[in-house]
């Protein structure tokens, strides 16, 4: 076989086989020495943990409105706890596209758990009460509205990313949607009414968070939180709680269009102020609860199952009255929320929260390309005869 002259270029066939071989070697090196996983930001894990604790506490307070301060504390928590979650959700949805990988994550991480817990929550309620079992995905059961709304928010991400003033349009949408009645009322009104918090998360940048970490901002945030607690306790006997639920039209709340628009705009301003105050007070460094932050969805669904059982078996009636009862609710629900963010809870609920649905997906294009490259590399490495 004649030797190739050192100055003569490789033939196209030879170059193709060499490129395939190099690609295969690089793939082997990457699989043998994978890149280190990106380090999690402890700030957002801390924020998620503290937010889920507020969720668990808020739902406990709603069971005993008869206790002193209960309704006021409940209104304070509900004024911003879900807006915080939604804003953080928007922040992590900044890279969401309708590419195969992202849509698969939406299906496996949101849609599948939504359907599973729609059945599981209803079944639990059926087992401990006299109510009939009902599987109604189009009318989510209790806390499952968040998962249904999350589907809407995620799918709308590419739309907001194309607009020049996305937050302005989201605010106008929130105000306008209160003027009409929607099908699947509670979920759709929440999904569109709370859209500004999701869009704000899409727009959130590190420089905004750095501004919140300034010392004077933290002091102001603490003052805002204290004033909000006192204000909620004073105001709540005179104002409808529907304002913090975001689940009805203005007419459904018994308000005129003008009062509804003013009320929602005011509620939105309060919620944004409290969200900013909350984020300013969240620790930025690793704490004892940082490692619990990634498992907040387990606490979200886990406490709902426990509370449904508690409702059916009248556990809440065992809590004493007075300030002792409030102290018990705050302490026990906070401890419960923390316990449900542990690996032990994940071991029990993982098949439901992170269901193995990969079998339902067709082979992704990326994997097919990898297989084609590997096959080409294998053919190139075969000895040639003659």
Token pair listed for 263: 């009320």
Q: Structure pTM?
A: 0.85
Question: CA-to-CA distance for 219 and 222, rounded, in angstroms?
Answer: 5
Question: CA-to-CA distance for 333 and 53, rounded, in angstroms?
Answer: 8
Q: Helix, strand, or coil here: 341?
A: coil
Question: CA-to-CA distance for 45 and 64, rounded, in angstroms?
Answer: 30
Reported as a single tens digit per residue, the pLDDT across 279-336 is 999 999 999 999 999 999 999 999 999 999 999 999 999 999 999 999 999 999 999 9
Q: How confident is the model at residue 6 (pLDDT cuts 50, 70, 90)?
A: very low
Maximal C-alpha separation, the chain: 98
- Compute the mean pLDDT over every residue in the chain, rounded to the nearest whole number: 88
Residue 17: left if φ>0, alpha if ψ -120 to 50, beta else—which one? alpha
- CA distances from residue 302 to 144, 310, 352 in whole angstroms, order as listed: 12, 12, 11
Question: CA-to-CA distance for 342 and 63, rounded, in angstroms?
Answer: 25
Residue 231 CB coordination number (10 Å): 15
Question: CA-to-CA distance for 219 and 214, rounded, in angstroms?
Answer: 9
Residue 374: name the closest of 102, 25, 55, 54 by CA. Answer: 25
Reported as a single tens digit per residue, the pLDDT across 73-84 is 999 999 999 999
Please, what is the Cα angle at 336 between 330 and 337, to 5 degrees?
Answer: 90
Q: What is the pLDDT of residue 258?
A: 98
Is it the case that residue 33 has pLDDT exceeding 60?
no
Question: Lowest-pLDDT range, 50-54, 176-180, 355-359?
Answer: 355-359
Contacts with 110 (C-beta within 8 Å, 6 or more apart), sequence order: 147, 150, 151, 154
Q: How confident is the model at residue 365 (pLDDT cuts 50, 70, 90)?
A: low
Q: Are 117 and 308 in contact (CB under 8 A)?
A: no
Question: CA-to-CA distance for 197 and 216, rounded, in angstroms?
Answer: 24
Token pair listed for 240: 């409808």
Question: CA-to-CA distance for 173 and 106, rounded, in angstroms?
Answer: 24
Q: What is the pLDDT of residue 5?
A: 40
Domain residues of the chain, as ranges? 48-380
Contacts with 187 (C-beta within 8 Å, 6 or more apart), sequence order: 139, 140, 145, 148, 149
Is it the case that residue 27 has pLDDT exceeding 60?
no
Question: CA-to-CA distance for 247 and 240, rounded, in angstroms?
Answer: 13
Give the single-character DSSP code of 115: H
Question: CA-to-CA distance for 351 and 117, rounded, in angstroms?
Answer: 11
């Amino acid at each position: 076989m004649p030797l190739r002259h050192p100055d003569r270029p490789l033939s196209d066939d030879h170059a193709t086989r060499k490129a395939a071989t190099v690609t295969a070697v690089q793939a082997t090196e990457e699989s043998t020495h994978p890149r280190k996983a990106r380090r999690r930001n402890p700030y957002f894990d801390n924020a998620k943990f503290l937010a889920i604790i507020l969720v668990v506490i808020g739902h406990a307070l709603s069971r005993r409105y008869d206790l002193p301060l209960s309704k006021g504390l409940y209104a304070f928590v509900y004024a911003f706890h879900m807006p915080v979650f939604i804003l953080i959700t928007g922040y992590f949805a900044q890279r969401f596209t309708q590419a195969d990988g992202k849509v698969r994550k939406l299906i496996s991480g949101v849609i599948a758990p939504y359907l599973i817990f729609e059945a599981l929550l209803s079944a639990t309620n059926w087992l401990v009460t006299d109510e009939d079992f009902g599987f109604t995905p189009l009318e989510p059961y209790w806390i499952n509205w968040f998962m249904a709304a999350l589907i809407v928010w995620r799918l709308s991400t590419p739309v907001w990313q194309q607009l020049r003033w996305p937050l302005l349009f989201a605010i106008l949408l929130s105000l306008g949607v209160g003027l009409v009645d929607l099908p699947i009322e509670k979920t759709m009104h929440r999904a569109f009414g709370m859209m500004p918090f999701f869009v704000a998360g899409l727009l959130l940048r590190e420089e905004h968070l750095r501004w919140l970490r300034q010392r004077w901002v933290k002091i102001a945030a603490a003052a805002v939180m204290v004033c909000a607690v006192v204000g909620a306790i004073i105001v709540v006997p005179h104002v409808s709680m529907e304002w913090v639920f975001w689940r009805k039209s203005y007419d459904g709340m018994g308000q005129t269009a003008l009062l509804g628009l003013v009320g929602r705009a005011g509620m939105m301003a309060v919620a944004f102020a409290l969200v900013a105050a909350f984020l300013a007070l969240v620790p930025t460094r690793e704490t004892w609860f940082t490692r619990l932050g990634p498992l907040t969805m387990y606490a979200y669904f886990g406490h709902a199952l426990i509370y449904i059982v508690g409702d059916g078996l009248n556990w809440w009636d065992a809590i004493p009255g007075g300030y002792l009862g409030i102290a018990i609710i705050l302490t026990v629900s906070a401890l419960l929320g923390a316990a449900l963010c542990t690996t032990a809870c994940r071991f029990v609920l993982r098949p439901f929260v992170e269901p193995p649905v990969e079998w339902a997906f067709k082979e992704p294009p990326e994997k097919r390309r990898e297989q084609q490259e590997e096959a080409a590399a294998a053919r190139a490495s075969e000895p040639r005869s003659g």
